[in-house]
Amino acid sequence: MKKRLFLICALALVCSFLFCISTALAGGHNVTLKVDFEKNMIFSKYDVDVFIDDEKIGTYEHGVNFTASFSAGDGDHTIWFYEHGDKSNKGSIAVTVNSETAVSCKIECKNNKVKVTKVEIDRAQVSDTSRSMPEQQEEAPPAADTEKRNPDEDDVGKTLIAKDGVSVTLVGYRESKGDSFMEAEAGKTYVLVEFLIENNSSEKVNMSSLMCFDAYCDGFTTEYSFGAAMVAEGTLDGEVAAGKKMKGEIGYEVDKNWKELEIQVQLDVWSSEKLIYVIHKK
């Protein structure tokens, strides 16, 4: 009788252990969400409900920064931010989870939308070294600060993404002497640079060839050329609605023996953020 009771207890312990292991495995990977919650002074001062897919993580007070942790299995997930009690006002982040993941962002409560910006997603590395030194990894300077540009590197085809989610691609460039109505001065040439603007943000973007672009040819300031604009194939002026695109050329009149042209794109004149592209004469 005692032996049978012992076997039953032992079997129960083994089953309990296996259940705990299976539960832990089912829970997936740990995800840490760090949110900078911008505070409104008068309107739209609502709290937010945070969900991972269809599972609620919690409700968080308006204007108070917070950090939440939860588990998610391998695959694609969506982190949702809803107005507390009203799922029609929402914002989201798409994230693929295949290891421990840290997500940080900024949210703002608008009239009928929770605007999500400054999204950064970091995943744990699989090597033992990276797991044993997480603090050093977090404190390391961003790659953009340490990257050394090859002096012969060309940014044709390069896409950069602004903090609000708008992407800018330098499609290519061409030279032109002009046409019968407008020609470049003697010893100079028009350089026309083509950009693709993709508005992946939740608000419209206003583009201006004069206001949004600064250029430097061989280190010297280069002004926007109205003569080059006469032969451009499409301009970079006007409104780009959320989810829409714009493609066009911006032109400069430079020395025909130019070597390097740097263009800085500033989508928001009130922000210091600039997307920088460099091309070299072929």
Quick check: helix, strand or coil at residue 24? Answer: helix
**Best CA proximity match to 68, nearest among 53, 51, 54, 85:** 51
CA–CA separation, 159 and 242 (whole Å): 18
Q: Which residue is associated with the tokens 């207890």?
A: 9
User: Do residues 162 and 255 share a domain?
Assistant: yes
User: Do residues 44 and 163 share a domain?
Assistant: no
Judge whether 187 lies within some domain: yes
CA–CA separation, 278 and 261 (whole Å): 6
For position 206, what pLDDT does the model report? 92
For position 260, what pLDDT does the model report? 95
For position 244, what pLDDT does the model report? 93
Quick one: CA dihedral 273, 144, 96, 83, positive or negative?
Answer: negative
Do residues 71 and 28 touch, judged by C-beta distance below 8 A? yes
Do residues 167 and 200 touch, judged by C-beta distance below 8 A? yes
Domain carrying residue 109: 27-133
For position 41, what pLDDT does the model report? 83
User: Do residues 184 and 239 share a domain?
Assistant: yes
Do residues 195 and 247 touch, judged by C-beta distance below 8 A? yes
Q: Structurally, how many domains does the chain consist of? A: 2
For position 129, what pLDDT does the model report? 34
> Could you give the strand order of the β-sheet that contains 55-60, starting from the edge strand earlier in sequence?
55-60, 48-52, 75-83, 86-97
User: Do residues 163 and 126 share a domain?
Assistant: no
For position 152, what pLDDT does the model report? 58
pTM score: 0.49
Report the CATH number at residue 79: 2.60.40
Q: Which structure tokens are listed for 140? A: 């390391």
Mark the ranges of the chain whose per-residue pLDDT is less than 50: 2-3, 5-6, 9, 13-26, 125-149
User: Do residues 33 and 122 share a domain?
Assistant: yes
User: Do residues 231 and 265 share a domain?
Assistant: yes
